[in-house]
A and B are shown apart, each in its own frame.
Chain A
Amino acid sequence: MTTHAPAHEIPTVEGRREPDYLRVTKGFMSWVTTLDHKRIGLMYLFGVTLAFIVGGIFAMLLRAHLWNPGPDGQMFSPQDYNQLFTLHGAFMVFAFIIPAIPGSIANFALPLLIGAPDVALPKLNLASFYLWLFGTVLLSYSAITNGLDTGWTFYTPWSLKSQTAVLSAGLGVFVIGFSSIFTGLNFLVTMHKMRARGMGWFQMPLFCWAIYASSVLQVLATPVLGITVALLAFEHIYHIGVFDPAEGGDPVLFQHFFWFYSHPAVYIMILPGMGIISEVVSTHSRRPLFGYKLLAFSSIAIAVISFLVWGHHMYTSGQSEFAMQAFSFLTVLVAIPTAIKMWSWVATIWGGSIALTAPMLYAIAFLVIFTIGGLTGVYLAALAIDIHLHDTYFVVAHFHAVMMGSTAIAFFAGVHHWWPKMFGRMYNEKLASIAAIVILTGFMVTFLPQFEMGSQGMPRRYATYSEQWVGYHRASTVGAMILGAGFALMVGYLLHSLIAGRKAKPNEWGGVTLDWKCPTPPNLYNFDDEPIAGKLYDYGPTLKR
């Protein structure tokens, strides 16, 4: 770590003892070969944002296609539309949303939050990044060469008959899976071995608990995804007869394998987002999180239950009613820890000192949309309702509420929260507030009509549709363009802040977790002196005692 000499003996640059991690070394090679968790986090941030932009462009194109019901007067052929929704899903799920928060925010902030100089396994951390990069390049290669039209779910037997680049895309997913496993493993070891002196498990900030829960999922569930795509590839190449009914295989078995990973995967996506919201809500309300232990355990409860609910994606597949009973019961149980989190955040804000900063506005947008996403999840858990709503736009709207409206917005809340710490610069807060409101509005305009259409029976993944839904589809398309404008504005002011943003204060938000106790931006090994964890979330005296 760093020297412990008294500060007055050290020549300081702008009042610092050491140069910050952005300036300590220079040049392209110093970045691409870095072992610093913060630089790797920034490379992830840059990479996943690019993937988000690509996936977002696909989304806007497919929404534009659906302006007219077709088949005449649409932008694309049905085949091209099928490719667009597949690539949108594949990029957003595998290249953006799974790695987004662990790769960028957690990589940057987790060691700071627990007072560590780096993650436990820095080389593995860099390897994770390059695996992600390689997998994403493979996905992009598939998109450019032959496209992909299987849906992001690769359901057999269509994925075995499709003439598109299923194998290279599958390999991409396989490789990204390993990136995810290594990231999860790294964080688990880091949290076990490298917490600051004085930091017991229940003095860890809640973001760490959330990352712990999602890391366990990443390590245990992702290998099943690897097995599934490997079997899919064997079926494709050698016709081993495991998924293809023409070879004696069972297509529903693929669904079981796929969802055994992909259901826990939605919690791999949302749990870190919940963790960010906990930190942001606490810091910007100056209140310790309400019901800390219950919040921590609810993350673990969600992770455990999430392994046992995969069958709820297959209520209509013809599984026995007793399997459905078990899966439905376990699925509704997820609503309980989820509700606990929601009430705890609200109670944290209640009676706080609430600063409506940009990160807080994004966090409030999360709370509003996540309420919708969580409640509509209960509709889909209920058997009789899901039979009607399964594979309709209701499902599309529900998971976009949870993934896009919650996880992605939580990710951006985190980006805005730690941006001054990352770069030592502040973005234009007025523009950031406008963008947060535009994005919340865009979300509502895009997805509320989709809930409506879905409950009326509009099936998903339809290139053409019946005239009765024209109005809803057009509203949704307008909403998607509003969302696009909001995100474009966000990228614009964030980039602008790097060049012309004002210098950030050492502790921009008055945060009290350890991440705000190191210099801004942090040193190469983060802290000037070895940090010692005190009372967690200690904001000092309140008005009422």
Chain B
Amino acid sequence: MIAFQDPLGQLPPQASTFAADHDALFYFLTWVSIGSFALILGLLTYSCVRWRRKTPDQPAASDVTHNTKLEVVWTLIPAIIVIVVFAWGFKGILPQQIAPADARKYRAEAYTWAWELYHPGATKSAGELWFEVDKPARVELTSRDVLHAFFIPAFRVKRDIVPGFRNQIWFQPTLIGDYTLFCAEYCGDQHSMMHRVVHVVDAATYVKEPWAALPETPEARGEYFFNMKGCLACHGTKADSPDPIGPTFFGIYGRKGRLSDDSEYTADEAYIHESIREPQKKIVKGRAPVMPPFDATSLSEEDVNDIIAWMKTLK
């Protein structure tokens, strides 16, 4: 494939094998568009200056109202251009449809409003994605609840994640660097918080399985999980954090309150543990039962304890 460089720097970095072809078509259309726009603007300006009505009864200058040759030309030229664009665009997506057999298998499970990201062979999910440069990767996409979409602008790829269906997406990263994964399909309250860092690294870094590395102290790990598992979508960490969905974690450890059946609870270790594993079991009075459960593939026993350790520091 002939490498196409982004002449105006308007698109994201070209970090996958699909990017150059996309960008070439994008700029082909951009030049055609700028040309057509300039032509139309020029013709309009010229007409308005040259034939502007100066006296109230000034008649039109031209009596030509039909010209078959001209009409055929201005039908055919756009027709040829758009058919070229169609064919080029279709050719562009064909390689995106089937992943190569040797592509590494990743899995992304989306839920409101976070991701469980599984690396090849991993049984435990990670908070960010790591890909090895120049190696094809395939991501299986599932959703626990509503529509989401897997979108990495630097790779020029996007695929909807439809609950009840298995979609997949593949790409081959070509440029070492950090990029962003977005959720591109509107999924409710905290849709805009479903972004994660995507790392493209060399082989030496990749073999060290950087996705398994965690911060050293329990409290730091707890905060890391808080950020990665989407807790921050509904829970704040400051005394004055807004709390339309869930309570702020500031000073939550040891707090007392009432449940929906008017019984009393204390936010001790056992209660918080249960609230993470089976959040629907006990609902605090006045709250809606909206929190998703986190099982052991998402957060191990140790991870939950780390979160509780971190929560204790918030006061």
Contact = CB atoms under 8 A, between A and B. Distances in A.
B183 A383 contact: no
A353 B48 contact: no
Interface string B36-69: 1100110110011001110000111111111100
A82 B90 contact: no
Contacts of A347: 70
B186 A329 contact: no
B12, B58, B185 — which one has the most chain A CB atoms within 10 A of its CB? Answer: B185
User: Which interface class (under 10, 10 to 19, 20 to 34, 35 or more) fits B?
Assistant: 35 or more
A452 interface: yes
Contacts of B182: 457, 459
Contacts of A70: 192
A235 interface: no
A452 B10 contact: yes
Interface string B228-246: 0000000000000010100
Given A79-B244, A381-B86, A544-B61, A317 B160 contact: yes
A384 to B, nearest CB: 3
B85 A382 contact: yes
B60 A542 contact: yes
B249 interface: no
Contacts, number: 284
B217 interface: no
A155 to B, nearest CB: 6
A512 to B, nearest CB: 12
Nearest to B94: A321
A346 B40 contact: yes
A371 B52 contact: no
B156 A387 contact: yes
A332 B151 CA distance: 24
Interface stretch (A177-185, A222-230, A336-344): A336-344
Contacts of B242: 77
Given A346-B40, A351-B64, A545-B63, A251 B162 contact: yes
A75 to B, nearest CB: 13
A339 B33 CA distance: 12
B163 interface: yes
Interface in A128-183: 149, 151, 155, 157-158, 161-163
Contact of A387 (B59, B60, B158): B158
Given A82-B188, A388-B22, A455-B11, A328 B90 contact: yes
B65 A287 contact: yes
Given A161-B146, A288-B65, A336-B78, A354 B51 contact: yes
Contacts of A539: 59-60
A371 B89 contact: no
Contacts of A318: 159-160, 162, 165, 167
Contacts of B129: none
Nearest to A357: B53
A205 to B, nearest CB: 14
Interface in A470-514: none
Given A292-B66, A321-B97, A364-B44, A158 B186 contact: yes
Contact of B11 (A250, A335, A456): A456
A163 B290 CA distance: 11
Contacts of B63: 542, 544-545
Interface string A385-419: 11110111000000000000000000000000000
B29 A378 contact: yes
A382 B25 contact: yes
Contact of A157 (B97, B147, B167, B180): B147
Interface in B118-153: 145-147, 149, 151, 153
B37 A383 contact: no
A405 B83 CA distance: 27
A457 B188 contact: no
B198 interface: no
Interface in A321-370: 321, 324-325, 328-329, 332-333, 335-336, 339-340, 342-343, 346-347, 349-356, 364, 367-368
Interface in B14-43: 18, 21-22, 25-26, 29, 32-33, 36-37, 40-41, 43
Contacts of B40: 342, 346, 367-368, 371
A463 B186 CA distance: 11
Nearest to A545: B63
B62 A287 contact: yes
A294 interface: yes
A461 interface: yes
A541 B63 CA distance: 8
A387 B191 contact: no
Nearest to A461: B186
Given A78-B192, A351-B47, A352-B47, A379 B60 contact: no
A336 B79 contact: yes
A252 interface: yes
A391 B158 contact: yes
B51 A252 contact: no
Interface of A: 70-71, 77-79, 82, 149, 151, 155, 157-158, 161-163, 245-246, 250-252, 285-292, 294, 314-318, 321, 324-325, 328-329, 332-333, 335-336, 339-340, 342-343, 346-347, 349-356, 364, 367-368, 371-372, 375-376, 378-379, 381-388, 390-392, 452, 455-457, 459-466, 539-545
27 contacts: A149-B188, A149-B189, A155-B186, A252-B162, A287-B60, A290-B64, A291-B71, A294-B71, A314-B160, A321-B97, A336-B75, A351-B62, A351-B64, A352-B51, A353-B60, A367-B40, A367-B44, A371-B36, A371-B40, A378-B85, A379-B29, A384-B18, A385-B92, A388-B22, A455-B11, A457-B182, A463-B191
10 closest Cβ contacts across the A-B interface? A457-B153, A384-B92, A351-B62, A245-B164, A382-B89, A462-B192, A339-B78, A332-B82, A383-B89, A375-B33
Given A287-B62, A336-B82, 5 more contacts: A78-B189, A290-B64, A316-B159, A353-B61, A544-B62
